[in-house]
Amino acid sequence: MSTFQAPKGTYDLTPPRSATFLAVREAISAPLRDSGYGYIETPGFENVELFARGVGESTDIVTKEMYTLTTKGGDQLALRPEGTASVLRAALEANLHKAGNLPVKLWYSGSYYRYERPQAGRYRHFSQVGAEAIGTEDPALDAELIILADQAYRSLGLRRFRILLNSLGDKECRPVYREALQTFLRDLDLDEETRRRIEINPLRVLDDKRADVQKQLTDAPKLRDYLCDACKAYHEEVRALLTAAGVAFEDDEKLVRGLDYYTRTTFEFVHDGLGSQSAVGGGGRYDGLSEMIGGPELPSVGWALGVDRTALALEAESVELDLPATTSVYAVPLGEEARRVLFGVVTELRRAGIAADFAFGGRGLKGAMKSANRSGARYTLVAGERDLAEGVVQLKDMESGEQSAVPLAEAAAELAKRLG
């Protein structure tokens, strides 16, 4: 074993489990690619101020969980703790919103970093696939994103997830509710840090998971009672569109999410098989974020789904993904001449789009056939001096065990035919 290990709270993704993560990323991104979302990549680190302004200075993400560093030139940078602020920054910098085709629809996939207390389903380095629709205020966009996430999870075979839905109001009605909530919270028995949060962002107190805090919040004023007519109508339209699409959801008036930039629609995907870390993804509308980070007014909506959490949800439901074998054909040469010839056949198969591998290292027949078995290959090609003298190779079906001699010149075509 190496002297070094992965840092605490992180993980290495190795075969065969890595194949599940790739399948999850593919399943989440496929509906997005079919719905007009283009791919975007952003740096793994950004200016600290982007997250302080965008995510919110009162959030745990910024105050406790962000990895920050100072460069040799004195710049303050942070490893990205989430994707939305970075994607919006990149879209603004590239002037994508000025191309005349709003909304700007983008999807992304990558690693994110938060200094959290590690536990099952919560890591300091985690993987997400996200989607953002930038520049348009339309309840149909909110509904579209929720429907696409639902479609992605169902395509993977997940069934025990739930969609929680809420509205956080907008700049017209939120301040009125904020004041009412602050008045209520100031009279509660809360610790100093929570009291500080009341003054900065009282909605975050509603998200406090501690039982003694939740007990005191029973009679807290309800946001739904303070929504303006426009926000009520917007939220009802999102609900109606989801219902018409056959997507089940639950209204959750305490759902505020952990970031300050959300307005109106907010939602979370939870899975009951994951214990305390039940959220597998979530998102919402963030109509004011562009202005917070120095851009123009660009109402937007998006989500991020956890690849690691989704993989854990699959395990919790005992869902076995139908993963394609990494190798379809495995070539076993016996002797130097056979090595040269079969290596050529393997190269030809790969060029034809057939997944093929080779018994490297000059092992004997027994050891090479064990490797062929472990590779999951459907067919094995075996050739020795006698076979080559006769111009054939032995083609073995690893499922049935049947073996037959095939002319060497026709081996690639025969395998292509059999593998469809």
CATH code, domain carrying 370:
3.40.50.800
Q: Determine the pLDDT at residue 139.
A: 98
Q: Is residue 348 one of the residues assigned to a domain?
A: yes
Query: Do 157 and 280 sit in the same domain of this protein?
Result: yes
Task: State which of 316, 342, 372 marks the end of a domain.
Answer: 316
Q: Is residue 197 one of the residues assigned to a domain?
A: no
Q: Is residue 2 one of the residues assigned to a domain?
A: no
Query: Do 27 and 117 sit in the same domain of this protein?
Result: yes
Task: State which of 286, 316, 346 marks the end of a domain.
Answer: 316
Distance (Å, rounded) from C-alpha 202 to C-alpha 339? 70
Domain carrying residue 351: 329-418
Give the whole-number percent of the chain exceeding pLDDT 70: 97
Q: Is residue 207 one of the residues assigned to a domain?
A: no
Query: Do 294 and 243 sit in the same domain of this protein?
Result: yes
Query: Do 305 and 343 sit in the same domain of this protein?
Result: no
Per DSSP, 324 falls in state: P
Q: What is the domain count for the chain?
A: 2
Residue 387's contacts (CB-CB under 8 Å, 6 or more residues apart) are 338, 393, 394, 405
Where the chain has pLDDT below 70, the residues are 1, 56-61, 257-260, 276
Query: Do 280 and 358 sit in the same domain of this protein?
Result: no
Asked whether the beta carbons of 121 and 273 are under 8 A apart, the reply is no
Residue 239 burial (C-beta neighbours within 10 Å; 0-12, 13-18, 19+): middle
Phi, psi of 101 (to 5 degrees): -125, 85
Q: Determine the pLDDT at residue 23.
A: 96
Largest CA distance in the chain: 93
Query: Do 266 and 383 sit in the same domain of this protein?
Result: no
Interhelix angle for 17-33 vs 307-316, to 10°? 110
Token duo for residue 35:
């719905």
Question: Tell me: the pLDDT tens digits for 131-179?
Answer: 999 999 999 999 999 999 999 999 999 999 999 999 999 888 888 888 9
Query: Do 37 and 163 sit in the same domain of this protein?
Result: yes
